């Protein structure tokens, strides 16, 4: 009789999208049933009850940890760590996979606060106490999951799942219908949640507030240079970057739009002696803009499937980002909004 094992894949989500794809692909190749909580709001207490039920129904548990601690509950405990602790308490066979190069990860994929870093370190130390493997890339992770799970199934045989024609009863059908209805409810909640701004952005800089960069530009035809402070509002930055984000764009395409926004902040009498290629946004400023767009719920990592040889980083508009872009760019009657920022000379 055909039997499949269900494997719960636990990790943070947005920073490990490609890695999770590799793991799920590896599990499917092993005729396993992947289970995970991507569809459910991380801070929904009702979802947590469902998570524990799903873990209870799984044969094995896989933990993936990189540079993020992840969403936390009201007491500051991470949901990924809570999933891990629950799996341990239920004596589930567990394998943990830790990224071995977190110091090389981009700023958007690591914890920036001291509290987040401390929580992540303690969690990683705890995870090392189980059967642990280290990985360096998404393909490397997928391969190690395949090999490790084969050994885990030999060491810890499990009942698994059988086709319904062998084990269906009315009680099971009723339970499946209940779970299906609950999943549908949570999918709707997730869809509604993604259409609005994040709940914790009240203290973030945004809108008509300015983000400044320093540039040295030619001030006349004799190629004399002068330092300028270029000021562009966050809304103006997003109005330049948003259109190229629609349908996903690369890091370099996004950076080009950032530079163009600051180029148009240069006064026209100075611009004639320069080229838009003269605008070089410092890496730290470029990273800050990308982090801010993500924090404001406007942008997220791209998820489209691409060739393995494609090593570019891709970005995409969120549903909320698309609506916000239309709001700030749509032409309106009697609108006096400026289309450019400002430049101020410095000594």
Number of domains the chain is built from: 2
Domain harbouring 320, CATH code: 1.10.10.10
CB 206 within 8 A of CB 334: no
Number of Cα atoms under 13 Å in the Cβ half of residue 303: 11
Structure-token pair, residue 55:
């873990």
Q: Which of 278, 291, 183, 188 minimizes the C-alpha distance to 237?
A: 291
CB 64 within 8 A of CB 9: yes
Q: Are residues 125 and 236 in the same domain?
A: no
Q: Are residues 65 and 145 in the same domain?
A: yes
Q: Are residues 152 and 112 in the same domain?
A: yes
Q: Are residues 189 and 248 in the same domain?
A: no
Q: Are residues 67 and 129 in the same domain?
A: yes
| Beta bridge pairs of residue 34 | 7
109: in domain: yes
Q: Are residues 184 and 231 in the same domain?
A: no
Domain boundaries, position 319 = 210-345
Q: Are residues 190 and 215 in the same domain?
A: no
| Beta bridge pairs of residue 206 | none
User: Which distant-in-sequence residues (6+ apart) come within 8 Å of 286 by Cβ?
Assistant: 255, 258
Q: Which strand (E) or helix (H) includes residue 119?
A: helix 114-127
Q: What is the pLDDT along the chain (347 residues), one digit of tens a residue?
A: 577 899 999 998 888 989 999 999 999 999 999 988 665 544 455 678 888 989 999 999 999 999 999 888 888 899 899 999 999 999 999 999 999 988 889 988 999 999 999 999 999 999 998 889 999 999 999 999 999 999 999 999 988 877 666 666 667 778 888 898 888 877 776 666 556 677 777 889 999 999 999 999 888 888 888 999 999 999 999 999 999 999 899 999 999 999 999 999 998 888 888 888 888 999 999 999 999 999 999 999 998 888 888 999 999 999 889 999 999 998 887 766 555 556 666 65
Q: Are residues 71 and 113 in the same domain?
A: yes
**DSSP track, 299-346:** EEE------TT----EEEE-HHHHHHHHHHHS--TT----SS-EEEE-
204: in domain: no
Q: Are residues 254 and 177 in the same domain?
A: no
């Amino acid at each position: 009789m055909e039997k499949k094992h269900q494997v719960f894949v636990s990790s943070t989500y947005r920073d490990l999208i490609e890695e999770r794809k590799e793991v799920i692909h590896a599990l499917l190749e092993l005729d396993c049933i992947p289970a995970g909580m991507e569809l459910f709001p991380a801070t929904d207490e009702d979802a947590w009850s469902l998570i524990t039920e799903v873990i209870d129904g799984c044969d094995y548990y896989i933990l993936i940890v990189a540079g993020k601690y992840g969403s936390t509950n009201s007491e500051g405990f991470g949901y990924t760590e809570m999933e891990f602790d629950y799996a341990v308490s239920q004596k589930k066979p567990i394998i943990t996979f830790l990224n071995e190069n977190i110091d090389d990860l981009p700023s958007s994929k690591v914890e920036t606060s001291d509290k987040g870093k401390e929580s992540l370190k303690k969690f990683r130390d705890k995870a090392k106490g189980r059967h642990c493997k280290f990985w360096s890339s998404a393909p490397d992770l997928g391969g190690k999951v395949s090999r490790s799970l084969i050994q885990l199934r030999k060491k810890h045989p499990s009942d698994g799942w059988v086709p319904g024609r062998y084990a269906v009863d009315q009680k099971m059908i009723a339970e499946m219908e209940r779970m299906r209805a609950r999943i549908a409810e949570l999918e709707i909640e997730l869809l509604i949640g993604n259409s609005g701004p994040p709940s914790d952005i009240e203290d973030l800089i945004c809108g008509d507030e300015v983000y400044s960069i320093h540039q040295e530009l030619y001030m006349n035809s004799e190629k004399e240079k002068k330092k300028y402070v270029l000021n562009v509002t966050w809304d103006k930055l997003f109005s330049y970057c948003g259109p190229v984000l629609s349908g996903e764009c690369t890091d370099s395409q996004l950076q080009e739009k950032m530079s163009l926004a600051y180029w148009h902040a240069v006064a026209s009498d100075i611009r004639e002696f320069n080229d838009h290629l003269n605008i070089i946004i410092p890496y730290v400023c470029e990273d800050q803009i990308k982090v801010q767009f993500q924090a404001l719920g406007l942008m997220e990592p791209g998820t489209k499937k691409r060739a393995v040889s494609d090593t570019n980083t891709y970005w995409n508009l969120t549903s909320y980002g698309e609506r916000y872009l239309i709001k700030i760019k749509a032409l309106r009657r009697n609108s006096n909004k400026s289309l450019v920022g400002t430049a101020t000379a410095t000594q």
